[in-house]
Amino acid sequence: MPRLRLGHWVDNAVSFLRDHLAWLFDFVTAVVQHMYDGVNAVLSAPQPLLLAGILAVLALWLRGLTAGVLAFVGFALIDSVQQWDPATQTLSLVLVATVITVVLAVPLGVWAGRNRTVSAVLRPVLDVMQTMPAFVYLIPGIFFFGLGVVPGVIATIIFAMAPGVRMTELGIRQVDGELVEAAEAFGTTSRDILLRVQLPLALPTIMAGINQVIMLALSMVVIAGMVGAGGLGASVFTAISQVNVGLGFEGGIAVVILAMYLDRMTGALGNQVSPLGRRALARADALRGARIRSYRPNTAVAMAGVLVLALVAAGLGVFGGSGGGPQVAAGKNVGRGKAVNLGYIPWDEGIASTYLWKEALEERGYTVNARTYDVGALYTGMASGAIDFETDSWLPTTHAQYWKQYGKDLTDLGSWYGPTSLEISVPSYVKDVKSLADLRGKASEFGGRIIGIEPGAGEMNLLRTKVLPAYGLDKEYQLTTGSTAGMLAQLERSYAKREPVAVVLWSPHWAYSKYQLTKLQDPQGAFGAGDRIHTLAAKEFPKKDPAVAGWLRNFHMDEKDLTGLEAAIQDAGQGNEQQGVRDWLKQHPGFVDRMAPVGSTKG
């Protein structure tokens, strides 16, 4: 078979689109971003419990007393596990994505429902949209739409579009042909047939489709979190990257509560808006009679309730919202509010150095946004200029692939820590294995596996091409590919059962402080010299902000400082990283002044 250069053509198409349709993508980005900002501003304005109350009244109106109480309890639970802000961000994202999806999907579905050709053309397109793995278009999405909420919304729309279109088409087609014929026989115009007969009768099916759209949108939240869309996705993504099962569950349960709320509410709304559904409800109510558990206020009462709570929320909003942030000492205000965007991979040294810089730059008067990203998204975002700098690039080996691809659009601001080392490690209770050579002949003991990490990581490439062949391990062991989180989970599991396990690791890594591990020696030096941790910035950043670039070039930390900082952040707990940094800085007076000397524009 000749090699079909499909991927190459796609690459070219993506570049072409980026170069020639930038105005369109910028327009879409602006629209979506503004929609999201607007919705999020409304949702995050009131006190959490007040908004929970408003949502509970809606549930009371649509579903009855039980649903109202459960909704309030659910949202209170989200607030009490400190996932409220991520949850409102996620809700905003889902609402924006759903509205856009429905606005596109319903007309398309109607069109497909009335025209066989359109239906036949749409079907494979929808198949592609629904089944193409999200990451395949998520990364190119960053080229087009930058990082943050917008590519998350776009990916969600692509993923959630199919059921909206299909259910609308199905609903239209399901309408009894004799009814349409009857309408025609009485001289109804095509438009009125749609509005008076087809749409009202298809409405329950269309609402079921919208319900599915919302559910799929919520299931994309975690993936959207990896490209900086924030919200519960970022919570879950951060938690699983650090194998923090408990935190992951807290984020996950918040997603579930949102999903159940939206599912039940859209289902009930479907009954309220469609004439047939209203009739069924009225009949059910008549049969059941009035009971407290199924009490539902009428629309006017419910709207009044929502309005009162919203007014209270608005009133409180006036008095809330006092400005926070660190006090900027006079004479040290270099940034004067200038915005700096930091990205980081949720690895310990990345979190530590990022929040250290966030604190330092805020003390210098900058406005700093720090967001967590997947590695691929981080590099793409930086190459496009959406992220100014990040402090956690392992070069020349681990991130070699990314540097090769994006290096031309980046500036290397030098390394601040090193050397690091790459290694294979085994638990210390595996007594007779001290060096890579010792692994030979013990494949059965280790299950024939070396537990690896992401297939794109430089260390994995190094293992496959150099290290394993050098020690003759490539025939004997299978190097599994997966994720860092998966590798750590396997290590945890084996460690608890005291089974032999060989994992791909690197130093510094918190695993060495949590478990007793033996770094296997590499007498042949197959791993080569260790990586150093570099600070990389967008190509234009040194020109844009020479002062910060200068400070970054001179940044250095030794192992004692880094592990101490990481420990302080661990102590402060998830969500309080910056407080951890402040605690640590209190014990290290003058550190910020050394990092960011005022008046200095060296470099």
Partner 1 sequence: MSSLQADHLYKVFGRRPLDAVEALQRGADRAALRDKGSTAAVIDASFTVEAGEIFVIMGLSGSGKSTLLRMLNGLLEPTCGRVLFGGQDLTALAPQELRRVRSHQISMVFQHFALFPHRSVLENAAYGLQVQGVPRDERLRRATEALHLVGLEGWEKSWPDELSGGMQQRVGLARALATDAELLLMDESFSALDPLIRRDMQDQLLELQRSLHKTIVFITHDLNEAMRLGDRIAVMRDGRIVQLGSAEQILVEPANDYVASFVQDVDRSRVLTAASAMVPPHRPDAADCGCESVTPHTTLAELLAVTARVPHPVAVRDDADKLLGVVPRQRVLTLLGDHDGPQVPCDARPMEKEATGA
Q: Which is nearer to partner 1, 201 or 502 (CB)?
A: 201
Q: Which is nearer to partner 1, 201 or 360 (CB)?
A: 201
Supply the minimum distance, in Å, between the C-beta of residue 152 and partner 1.
38
Supply the minimum distance, in Å, between the C-beta of residue 278 and partner 1.
9
Supply the minimum distance, in Å, between the C-beta of residue 197 and partner 1.
6
Supply the minimum distance, in Å, between the C-beta of residue 17 and partner 1.
42
Left if phi > 0, otherwise alpha if psi is -120 to 50, otherwise beta: which for 363? alpha
CA R_g for the chain: 28
CB 141 within 8 A of CB 132: no
> φ, ψ for residue 112 (rounded to 5)?
-65, -35
Q: Which is nearer to partner 1, 190 or 405 (CB)?
A: 190
Q: Which residues bind partner 1 (CB under 8 A)?
A: 176, 178-179, 181-189, 192, 197, 200-201, 274-276, 279
Supply the minimum distance, in Å, between the C-beta of residue 279 and partner 1.
6
Element (H, E) at 474: none
Supply the minimum distance, in Å, between the C-beta of residue 227 and partner 1.
43
Supply the minimum distance, in Å, between the C-beta of residue 210 and partner 1.
19
Left if phi > 0, otherwise alpha if psi is -120 to 50, otherwise beta: which for 556? beta
Q: Quick one: which of 416, 483, 408, 493 has its CA closest to 447? A: 493
* Residue 586, both tokens: 């209190």
Q: Which is nearer to partner 1, 198 or 415 (CB)?
A: 198
Q: Which is nearer to partner 1, 10 or 179 (CB)?
A: 179
| Rounded Cα–Cα distance for residues 422 and 62 (Å) | 58
Q: Can you spell out the DSSP letters for 320-354? A: -----SPPPPTT---STT-EEEEEE-SSHHHHHHH
CB 533 within 8 A of CB 347: no
Outline where DSSP puts E strands in 418-510.
421-427, 449-451, 478-480, 503-507
Q: Which is nearer to partner 1, 11 or 184 (CB)?
A: 184
Supply the minimum distance, in Å, between the C-beta of residue 182 and partner 1.
4
Q: Which is nearer to partner 1, 260 or 273 (CB)?
A: 273
Q: Quick one: which of 350, 342, 357, 343 has its CA closest to 484? A: 350
Task: Output DSSP code: residue 292.
Answer: S
Q: Which is nearer to partner 1, 98 or 198 (CB)?
A: 198
